Amino acid sequence: MRTPTVCREYLDNLLEYLYAQGATPRQLQGLMRLDPQDHISEQGRFPLRLFEMLLDAGSQLLNDYYLGAHAGAHCSSQPWGMVNYLGMSASSNREAVSAVVNYSRLLIDHGDVELSEEVNDQRAARLTWVLPPRQLPSRQVIEFFFSNWYRVNKPLLDRWCSKREIHFTHDGPADSGEIERIIEAPVHYGSHCNAVEFDRHFLDRPTKFPHSGIHKSLEQAAQAELSNLQFEDRIIRDVKECIMNQLASGVPKLEEVAANLRLTPRTLQRRLNNTNTNFKYMVDDARKERSIRLISDSALGLPDISAELGFSDQSAFQKAFKRWYGQAPGRYRLMLQTVN
């Protein structure tokens, strides 16, 4: 599966907040060993893993345990873009919330958002971010996303809802007063899901500026944007999976991967070109993505990781890793252990 991403606007808003709080580009790049701007794709996407690293680096620089919540609350409605305009033009809050459910991947292309309307004897509704258990984003990312969604919609929730609270599956301080002050809503740690709960009758309230024509037009545009993202996902996922499955036996050739996918080499190359990439980059990206998973496992030695990634020797692996992440794999592993 390809690397999960966030929209560029999330990156821009987070950097804006960090700089306003006194962090400098040089300090951030010094901790991350890379320039975030260099990793924005042509489609305007930014790797979720690097977004996590940026939050961790910012938290360390500012000594802010709640950086994700602070930055999310500060973040404007701009990142919601198409989703926000869909909500504004919807005929009801239910239709507006459905836009979040259907198009949340335009914001963070990871997991799915689901709406439940029968919570607590049908008196409450719940909007849940359902995440793959083996690829959970960091606490900072989860708090960023929910604090941003809540603060963007706070005026409407304040107007229509007496019940509005946020739940996180991760642990937090015994006293949740500080994060409740930041988000301006009750917060519960150690819950069974990552979600926001609110009065169910909120869904049936009309929006302020409903416009069916504009809403339909925006929905078509959002669907097209999502389709482009999903098309890229299918091609990238299938090719990367084939490469990863064969890395331990050596780097596969394009012809081998094409045969595995029942495509001609020319067809596979054309499809990769349509996603603004090529096979050589896919091999490098597959190694890069898998290296992060392997380097996070402290039980694996660097020679083992080098072999798993199909490198002929450990020095070639170390050189590639430094090119990817700006530092040697051993140093990077030490940084991960320090942050966690």
Same domain? For 189 and 134 the reply is yes
Residue 158 inside a domain? The answer is yes
- 157 burial level (CB within 10 Å; 0-12, 13-18, 19+): buried
Residue 340's contacts (CB-CB under 8 Å, 6 or more residues apart) are none
Q: Which of 180, 204, 228 is the last residue of a domain?
A: 204
Same domain? For 321 and 251 the reply is yes
Same domain? For 193 and 281 the reply is no
pLDDT at position 1, please?
A: 42
Residue 319 inside a domain? The answer is yes
Tell me which H or E stretch contains 231: helix 212-246
**168 φ, ψ (degrees, to nearest 5):** -125, 140
CATH number of the domain to which 321 belongs: 1.10.10.60
Same domain? For 144 and 165 the reply is yes
Same domain? For 118 and 43 the reply is yes
Question: Domain containing 312: what range?
Answer: 214-339
pLDDT at position 232, please?
A: 64
Same domain? For 126 and 31 the reply is yes
Cα–Cα dist 207/87, whole Å: 8
Residue 300 inside a domain? The answer is yes
**DSSP alpha helices (H): ranges in 247-313?**
254-260, 265-274, 279-295, 302-308
Same domain? For 165 and 218 the reply is no
Same domain? For 125 and 200 the reply is yes
Same domain? For 142 and 287 the reply is no
Q: Please answer whether residues 292 and 49 qualify as being in contact, where contact means their C-beta atoms are separated by less than 8 angstroms.
A: yes
pLDDT at position 276, please?
A: 62
Same domain? For 69 and 30 the reply is yes
pLDDT at position 275, please?
A: 64
Place of tokens 């002929």: 312
Q: Please answer whether residues 203 and 134 qualify as being in contact, where contact means their C-beta atoms are separated by less than 8 angstroms.
A: no
CA 316 from centroid of its chain's CA atoms: 30
Residue 198 inside a domain? The answer is yes
CATH number of the domain to which 77 belongs: 3.90.1520.10
- Positions in the chain short of pLDDT 70: 1-3, 79, 120-122, 230-233, 274-276, 339-340
Same domain? For 139 and 62 the reply is yes
Q: Which of 204, 227, 253 is the last residue of a domain?
A: 204
The structural domain count of the chain equals 2
Residue 209 inside a domain? The answer is no
Same domain? For 19 and 142 the reply is yes
